[in-house]
């Protein structure tokens, strides 16, 4: 999938430089054309010869080097890249980019690059947790830079905590997510539901659940990046909507039901990622309920099962459901695919660490109506979103 892609890797000065040698080797073997840039401090850890040998190209180290032909090296490197990766990215390079400083080759290439940039931070845990670094990461994230978060573990300095360069598999997942699927959703309309619903008990209280909306927002972002027109029907969440996505905010399951039904006929794919409340208070009190009684009974009635209804009325639409389970994951998943007439169900055990609500990662099984099950490893929600969309494309192709 990476064949013919031009990837420029900026290597900055951290002990994790040696791990990036393996990344370069993998990417070159996968057919990508790799150019490596190194800062002076990175060269203290590993010499350019290592990267030159693995990439098959000379390594770029100097902003003022004059290449033959009179071209401007940093502009050429930036313009010819399909993707720039900074790995390991130190607090220093992150700070420079966040502040718009371009005073060496890597920061200048990043400044001139029009392509996506993936930043893979690696540093001491106290540096990583420093509020200045966190502020810089947040502002770069807001500007659309991609991050593969460092992992938690023993650091080279002996400390324990978050700061280790992310596993190479996670970095490779992100590279594939960004490069492999450009434009394959062009011409398709995708409706994604996200977040929890809130079901009022009285004017100041409600029933809800732990959904953060992260998985649904990641799906909307991934589909939009791949060229889809995206409608994101979302319960109340604190996330910033992805660029270019039409957001329909809702509160209750009943509102979500109406919003989804109104738009269903105009879409090709529905991904019901929202954690829709199964029940709502039968009567929402018009005044705040007083605490006069020792016990209080609230009678609940069933909400409509939106997805099941879509399964009954669908025509050309492809339906993807989600199932958060705490037991009998696969058995329940097979039953739900059939009961709701879905093309795909993404099931996850929300009790596993690194899966489920509020986390940035998820561990999912993809369950198909023909009984097939694909068990995925722990992955970032954005990468899982792309993985799910890959299956949607494959299912659509198989259907024609
Ligand atoms: O049956 P269960 O609630 O586990 O199914 C989960 C799937 O059904 C999710 O995709 C969820 O968005 C959807 N759902 C729905 N309406 C409901 C409850 C769940 O569309 N009332």
Residue 69 confidence (pLDDT): 65
- Which numbered atom of ligand 1 lies nearest the CA of 278? 21
What is the distance between the alpha carbons of residues 11 and 14, in angstroms, rounded to a whole number?
Answer: 9
Cα→Cα distances 297→66, 198, 300, Å: 79, 19, 9
pLDDT per residue as tens digits for the range 237-269: 999 998 889 999 999 999 999 999 999 999 999
Question: What percentage of the chain reaches a pLDDT higher than 70?
Answer: 99
> Could you tell me if residue 389 is inside a domain?
yes
Q: Is residue 59 part of a domain?
A: yes
pLDDT, tens digit, 9 for 90 and up, residues 160-212: 899 999 999 999 999 998 887 778 999 999 999 999 999 999 999 999 999 99
Q: Is 184 exposed, middle or buried (0-12, 13-18, 19+ CB in 10 A)?
A: middle
Q: What backbone torsions phi and psi does residue 398 show, to the nearest 5 degrees?
A: -65, -25
Same domain flag for 90 and 199: no
Q: Which of 99, 115, 120, 157 is flagged as catalytic?
A: 157
Average pLDDT over residues 34-55: 97
Claim to verify: residue 171 and residue 194 sit in the same structural domain: no
Question: Do 10 and 133 fall within a single domain?
Answer: yes
* Residue at 92 is within a domain: yes
- Domain shared by 198 and 223, yes or no: yes
Q: Give the whole-angstrom CA distance, residue 66 versus residue 69.
A: 9
Report pLDDT for 67: 67
Predicted pLDDT at 199: 98
306 lines ligand 1 (CB under 6 A): yes
> Of 126, 157, 181, which closes a domain?
181
State residue 70's pLDDT score. 61
Q: Supply the mean pLDDT for the chain.
A: 94
CA dihedral 386, 392, 393, 395 (to 10 degrees): 150
Question: Do 79 and 144 reside in the same domain of the chain?
Answer: yes
Q: Do 281 and 300 form a contact (C-beta atoms < 8 A)?
A: yes
66 plus 176 within the same structural domain: yes
112 lies in which domain range? Answer: 6-181
Can you give the pLDDT at residue 62? 87
Domain presence at residue 1: no
- Say whether pLDDT at 68 is over 80: no
Cα–ligand 1 centroid distance for 188 (angstroms):
23
Whether residues 62 and 127 share a domain: the answer is yes
Position 339 scores a pLDDT of 97
Residue that terminates a domain, selected from 149, 181, 213 = 181
- Residue 56 has φ and ψ, to the nearest 5°, of 75, 15
Residues 193 and 173 in one domain: no
Dihedral sign computed on CA atoms, order 306, 186, 5, 103: negative
More confident residue, 301 or 362: 301
- Which atom of ligand 1 is least distant from the CA of 302? 21
Are residues 165 and 241 both part of a single domain? Answer: no
pLDDT for position 146: 92
The single-letter DSSP state of residue 317 is -
Burial string for 201-219 (b: 16+ CB within 10 Å, else e) reads bbeeebbebebbbbbbbbb
Give me the mean pLDDT over the 125-142 stretch. Answer: 95
- Residue 1 clears pLDDT 80, i.e. is over it: no
Question: Is 167 in the same domain as 268?
Answer: no
What is the sign, positive or negative, of the torsion defined by CA atoms of 333, 337, 339, 340? Answer: positive
The span from the CA of 231 to the CA of 189, in Å, is 8
CATH number for the domain spanning 263: value is 3.40.50.10300
318 and 195 in one domain?
Answer: yes
160 CA distance to ligand 1 middle (Å): 40
* Residue 22 falls inside a structural domain: yes
Asked if residue 347 has its Cβ within 6 Å of ligand 1, the reply is no
Q: Count how many domains the chain has.
A: 2
322 lines ligand 1 (CB under 6 A): yes
Rounded distance between C-alpha atoms, residue 260 and residue 252, angstroms: 12
Report the CATH number at residue 162: 3.40.50.1950
60 pLDDT band, cuts 50/70/90, is very high
So what's the pLDDT on residue 322? 97
Of 181, 214, 241, at which residue does a domain stop?
A: 181
Res 122: pLDDT: 97
With a pLDDT cut of 90, the percent of the chain lying above it is: 82
Strand (E) positions, 235-308?
Answer: 246-249, 269-272, 279-281, 300-302
């Amino acid at each position: 999938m990476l064949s013919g892609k031009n990837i420029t890797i900026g290597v900055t000065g951290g002990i994790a430089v040696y791990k990036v040698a393996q990344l370069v080797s993998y990417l070159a073997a996968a057919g990508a054309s790799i150019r490596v840039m190194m800062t002076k401090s990175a060269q203290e850890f590993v010499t350019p010869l290592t990267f030159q040998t693995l990439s098959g190209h000379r390594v770029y180290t100097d902003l003022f080097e004059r290449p033959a032909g009179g071209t401007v090296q940093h502009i050429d490197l930036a313009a010819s890249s399909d993707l720039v990766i900074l790995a390991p990215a130190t607090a220093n390079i992150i700070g420079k980019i966040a502040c718009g400083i371009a005073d060496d080759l890597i920061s200048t290439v990043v400044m001139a690059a029009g392509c996506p940039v993936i930043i893979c931070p690696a540093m001491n845990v106290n540096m990583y947790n420093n509020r200045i670094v966190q502020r810089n990461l947040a502002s770069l994230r807001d500007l659309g830079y991609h991050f593969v978060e460092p992992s938690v573990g023993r650091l080279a300095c002996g400390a324990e905590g978050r700061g280790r360069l992310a596993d190479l598999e996670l970095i490779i997942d992100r590279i594939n997510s960004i490069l492999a699927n450009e434009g394959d959703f062009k011409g398709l309309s995708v409706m994604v539901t996200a977040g929890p619903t809130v079901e009022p008990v009285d004017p100041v209280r409600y029933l809800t659940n732990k959904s953060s909306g992260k998985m649904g927002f990641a799906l909307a972002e991934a589909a939009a990046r791949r060229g889809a027109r995206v409608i994101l029907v979302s319960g109340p969440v604190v996330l910033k909507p992805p660029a270019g996505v039409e957001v329909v905010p809702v509160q209750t399951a009943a509102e979500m039901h109406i919003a989804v039904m109104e738009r269903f006929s105009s879409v090709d794919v529905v991904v019901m990622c929202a954690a829709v409340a199964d029940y709502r208070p039968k009567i929402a009190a018009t005044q705040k309920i007083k605490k006069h009684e020792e016990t209080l009974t609230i009678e609940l009635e069933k909400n409509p099962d939106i997805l099941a209804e879509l399964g009954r009325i669908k025509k050309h639409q492809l339906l993807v459901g989600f199932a958060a389970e705490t037991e009998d994951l696969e058995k329940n998943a097979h039953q739900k695919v059939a009961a709701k007439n879905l093309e795909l169900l993404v099931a996850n055990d929300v009790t596993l660490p690194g899966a489920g609500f509020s986390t940035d990662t998820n561990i999912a099984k993809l369950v198909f109506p023909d009984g097939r099950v694909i068990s995925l490893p722990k992955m970032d929600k954005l990468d899982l979103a792309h993985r799910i969309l890959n299956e949607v494309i494959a299912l659509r192709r198989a259907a024609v």
